[in-house]
Structure 1
Amino acid sequence: MGCWKQDKSYTWTFPTLIVCLYGFFCMMKPSEPFLTPYLTGPDKNLTIDEVTNQIFPVWTYSYLVLLFPVFLITDYVRYKPILLLQGVSFIITWLLLLFAHGVAAMQVVEFFYGMVTASEVAYYAYIYSVVSTDHYQRVTSYCRSIPLVAGFHRKDVSETFPAPDKVVATVCSDGPSSCQEDKGSAPADRGPTAEQQPDKAKPQNHVLRVLVQLSQDLRDCYSSRKLLYWSLWWALATAGFNQVLNYIQVLWDFRAPSHSSAVYNGAVEAIATFLSSLTSFVVQYMKINWDLFGELALGIFSAIDAGSLFLMHFTTNIWACYAGYLIFKACYMLLITIATFQIAVNLSMERYALMFGFNNFVALVIQTILTVVVVDSRGLGLDIVTQFLIYGSYFAVIAGIFLIRSICMLVSSQCNRKIARSCKEHPNHAEHESKEQIVTGYTTWL
């Protein structure tokens, strides 16, 4: 298997710096924590029911519809056109938010914001195409933490990088061979390689060939159980996180109505993003066997997230709600940072956008189901307090899945060590080989 060698004249620090600067300035949105009071205030004069059940769900639906074509296009044309699309969508979003009025206009705002978030995949995928795998843990930590320092949310992207076809990165690791191959050393800004295309192929079959190739890549990459389970957590947790983020201000406004009490949404969001930035930043210093203890971390911190959401449901104190949100967001950002570099280190450069985009697509499908069933007036249309009971239960299920699986993995690992020690002490006993085969088979199944 060939490996790409990093160009010695090009280091990881410059592209990481540019990405982080873009993310920092892109995320300067101090007004966002007050979006719900703004929409329900005298300027827009919308009701809380219109905001909750008619306007906010549009973001989820548009994000779902747009994400799949966006990450497919990103995989084909690469990152810069997608970043330009995101920038234009940001401008339209804020112009409409400032000058437009009415439910329909605010639904259009949510649509363009869906385009912004659908393009987010380019930010986190691009950096891996310009640095070697040796720096994945560090650059993931930086790129996740720096945008959080800037605002009250997380977002995207860089644009003044050297083209990916000028950069060669090390992509060898122990992932699936189809995901680790150097793809014939094809430039990253190009589509399928010449070897992947039949000679004299008809132009009308080009799109079909690309889709077939992408489906094969997804199948091969998800055949790795490590990638599969990290991606499963990514999709499940991101769906719940986005849902909470979308409706947390509605809960705050219910606990402490902005028209009759002092609100500290901005301060709480600032603290939450600072803590999230801090947890994302410290990931680079964590020297842990993620293969063995990674899923245990997913289970433990998902359980903490569930507890935070239950706290927000049962308490009537706005300060307890604020505290629960701080814990919830910090834990999620810690885990998503770990999940991002754990997935990236097992992928080839050409498939970051595809993998990240598909994980987000699955997350959006799950989130859409939650929105339709729990929030939308055409579904159950539950009140905001009951919604958070559902979200807490949802994260409790996620925690249960990964805690059970991690315990099984740890028990299996312990059994393997005991058998190995026993074999060293009694090398002639054939029964040890049989036991080892059973445990190895169980571990492989996990």
Structure 2
Amino acid sequence: MSLLYPTLCLCAYGLFSNLRPSEPFLTAYLMGPDKNLTEAQVVSEIYPIWTYSYLALLFPIFLATDYLCYKPVLVLQAISFVVTYAMLAKAQGLRAMQLLEFFFGLATASEVAYFSYIYSVVEPAHYRRVTAYCRSVTLFGSAAGSLSGQLLLTVAEVRLVHLVWATLASAAVAFFPPWFLPMPKRSLFFHKKPEGAPERQCDYSSALIDKVDNKVPLDNQDVATVSPSSEETNGSCGFPEVLKMLLADFLHCYRRGPLLAWSLWWALATCGYFQVLNYAQALWEKIRPSSEYDIYNGYVETLSTLLGALAALLAGHLPVRWTVWGELVLWALSLLMAACVLVMVTLGSIWLCYGSYVLFKATYMLLITVATYQIASNLDMPRYALVFGVNTFVALLLQSLLTLVVVDSAGLGLDLFTQFYVYGGYFAVISAVFLFAGLCKIATRQHSDQEVLSRSPADTDGT
């Protein structure tokens, strides 16, 4: 029962908080008669607020989650969802929608508490099973929300505002489960286990990965040793001690070359992935206006979610020697992602745009899952949370800079088509970086092999 009760509460919360019928139609709703906002306002003045808010709140929420022992942050996230969709249903005007994006950024940053909570109340032997349950139900909730929204729109012919009310009702149901969760008595940094008790790994990596839709649990067997910083004093730690611990672990983790390479791809690709996802609906609205045609965004999001989950599951079974060919695979598939983005914007067909989006998202899901395992396999301490947190923070920092320069009205404020040309070129640059890295790695390995062969006869003669 100690395992079943919190798992059921978390699954109920994950299901209803991700059941959002209005999500695939947000841009159409904001630009429609209910809100009557312009494309420039939505793209250049409203959506960037989420990026900036998420970046600003990520690290404070990361620390607050550990200090407050998870549950209060889950409650905060539930409240933020209710406020977000209540404002989306009733509030009017540009400033109100910008404030809404701030609350959604707060809810997004608070996702760190969702998966990390379970690691503080169950035994390590149950991590994989409970994580699978929670992740599966969040995936199901997301896919069911997109599908139900599309069916309500096309079959029942409801108005878009009714989808927002349905999402608000789901958020209201999700508001209650976090209150019934038991309060953990320990955490990773501020509230540690008493000395002599077996150490259990409590990390936030799953929550941070979940923001980018990666649904593969980490293997606790990948952790070999623990750094001295994670074995220091027992009991509660002060803020300065926690910061010293994080800095020591940061320097220890990023000394490894392979981890640094995969983390670089993680940060660069996640930045571009967030940008494409944030503004894809606006591009679809530009190509096929919802005021004139039927739109099928819900079907597209449902399909892309399910294929992304399948790609994540298949990632662990690919017969690729990632240590040898990893950079070249990243080159080829990053180039494919660049091609998908360019197809979305150049050919002017909504069906090709939809199909390219699905392929783009599935490819990212495949690679980010591989990156997760490769990073985990190069860690020698239970500091998954720190590494994935740093990678996500760098991705958000790059995304904020890209948004400020390309999207924001304070910067260039480029039109949507030009923006997507920039995003396509961005992924092409990522591809070129890893092509160069892959060729250098092959050349270095061949040079090393030749040196070994050239030394072999001399060694033989000497004997």
Shorter chain as denominator, the TM-score bin is 0.7 to 0.9
Q: CA deviation at 1:134?
A: 12
Tell me the residue number matched to 1:88: 79
Q: Does 1:59 align with 2:50?
A: yes
Alignment partners' CA distance in 1, 2:285 and 2:80: 28
1:210-221 correspondence runs (5 A): 210-221=242-253
Tell me the residue number matched to 1:256: 288
Alignment partners' CA distance in 2, 1:19 and 1:181: 33
Q: Is the 8 A contact 1:63 1:117 kept in 2?
A: yes
Residue 301 and residue 103 in structure 1: after superposition, are their counterparts in 2 closer, same or farther (change >3 A)?
Answer: same
Residue 24 and residue 302 in structure 1: after superposition, are their counterparts in 2 closer, same or farther (change >3 A)?
Answer: farther
Q: What amino acid is aligned across from residue 51 of structure 1 in structure 2?
A: V
Residue 72 and residue 182 in structure 1: after superposition, are their counterparts in 2 closer, same or farther (change >3 A)?
Answer: closer
Q: CA deviation at 1:426?
A: 6.1
Residue 299 and residue 82 in structure 1: after superposition, are their counterparts in 2 closer, same or farther (change >3 A)?
Answer: farther
Tell me the residue number matched to 1:40: 31
361, 367, 376: which one aligns with 1:335: 367
Alignment partners' CA distance in 1, 2:99 and 2:123: 38
Task: Indicate the percent of aligned positions where both proteins have the same amino acid.
Answer: 46
301, 305, 327: which one aligns with 1:269: 301
Q: Is the 8 A contact 2:223 2:379 kept in 1?
A: no
1:20-419 correspondence runs (5 A): 23-77=14-68, 79-123=70-114, 147-151=138-142, 168=200, 180=227, 183-184=230-231, 192=237, 206-286=238-318, 288-347=320-379, 351-416=383-448
Alignment partners' CA distance in 1, 2:313 and 2:255: 30
Residue 280 and residue 124 in structure 1: after superposition, are their counterparts in 2 closer, same or farther (change >3 A)?
Answer: farther
Residue 180 and residue 209 in structure 1: after superposition, are their counterparts in 2 closer, same or farther (change >3 A)?
Answer: closer
Secondary structure of the residue that 1:428 maps to in structure 2? helix
Residue 384 and residue 172 in structure 1: after superposition, are their counterparts in 2 closer, same or farther (change >3 A)?
Answer: same
Alignment partners' CA distance in 2, 1:32 and 1:64: 21
Residue 128 and residue 34 in structure 1: after superposition, are their counterparts in 2 closer, same or farther (change >3 A)?
Answer: same
State which drifts further: 357-366 or 332-341. 332-341
State which drifts further: 46-55 or 278-287. 278-287
Q: Is the 8 A contact 1:90 1:116 kept in 2?
A: yes
Q: Is the 8 A contact 1:144 1:280 kept in 2?
A: no
Residue 22 and residue 330 in structure 1: after superposition, are their counterparts in 2 closer, same or farther (change >3 A)?
Answer: farther
Alignment partners' CA distance in 1, 2:27 and 2:45: 13
Gaps of 5+ in 1: 1-9, 193-205, 431-446
Q: CA deviation at 1:212?
A: 2.7
**Deviations, residues 276-305 of structure 1 (Å, cap 9, x unaligned):** 111112234345433333333322221111
Tell me the residue number matched to 2:149: none
Q: Is the 8 A contact 2:376 2:384 kept in 1?
A: yes
Q: Is the 8 A contact 1:149 1:277 kept in 2?
A: no
Q: CA deviation at 1:356?
A: 1.9
Residue 425 and residue 143 in structure 1: after superposition, are their counterparts in 2 closer, same or farther (change >3 A)?
Answer: farther
Q: CA deviation at 1:141?
A: 8.0
Q: What amino acid is aligned across from residue 337 of structure 1 in structure 2?
A: T
**Deviations, residues 144-181 of structure 1 (Å, cap 9, x unaligned):** 66533432599x99967987768736967588x6x656
Q: What amino acid is aligned across from residue 72 of structure 2 in structure 1?
A: P
Q: Is the 8 A contact 1:171 1:347 kept in 2?
A: no
Alignment partners' CA distance in 2, 1:84 and 1:278: 31
Q: CA deviation at 1:84?
A: 2.8
Residue 76 and residue 283 in structure 1: after superposition, are their counterparts in 2 closer, same or farther (change >3 A)?
Answer: farther
Alignment partners' CA distance in 1, 2:251 and 2:315: 29
Gaps of 5+ in 2: 147-173, 188-192, 202-218
TM-score, length of structure 2 as denominator length: 0.75
Q: Is the 8 A contact 1:295 1:406 kept in 2?
A: yes
Q: CA deviation at 1:39?
A: 1.1
Q: CA deviation at 1:424?
A: 6.3
What root-mean-square deviation, in Å, do the aligned CA atoms of Structure 1 and Structure 2 show? 3.8
Residue 105 and residue 429 in structure 1: after superposition, are their counterparts in 2 closer, same or farther (change >3 A)?
Answer: farther
Residue 131 and residue 414 in structure 1: after superposition, are their counterparts in 2 closer, same or farther (change >3 A)?
Answer: farther
Q: What amino acid is aligned across from residue 80 of structure 2 in structure 1?
A: S
Residue 73 and residue 351 in structure 1: after superposition, are their counterparts in 2 closer, same or farther (change >3 A)?
Answer: farther
Residue 244 and residue 227 in structure 1: after superposition, are their counterparts in 2 closer, same or farther (change >3 A)?
Answer: same
**Deviations, residues 201-249 of structure 1 (Å, cap 9, x unaligned):** xxxxx43333233222212211122221221111111111111111111
Alignment partners' CA distance in 2, 1:424 and 1:21: 64
Residue 334 and residue 39 in structure 1: after superposition, are their counterparts in 2 closer, same or farther (change >3 A)?
Answer: same
Q: What amino acid is aligned across from residue 33 of structure 1 in structure 2?
A: P
Q: What amino acid is aligned across from residue 233 of structure 1 in structure 2?
A: W
Alignment partners' CA distance in 1, 2:131 and 2:372: 7
Q: Is the 8 A contact 1:36 1:51 kept in 2?
A: yes
Residue 37 and residue 87 in structure 1: after superposition, are their counterparts in 2 closer, same or farther (change >3 A)?
Answer: same
**Deviations, residues 376-421 of structure 1 (Å, cap 9, x unaligned):** 1111110000000000010111111122212332443455456556
Q: What amino acid is aligned across from residue 50 of structure 1 in structure 2?
A: Q
Q: Is the 8 A contact 2:316 2:370 kept in 1?
A: no
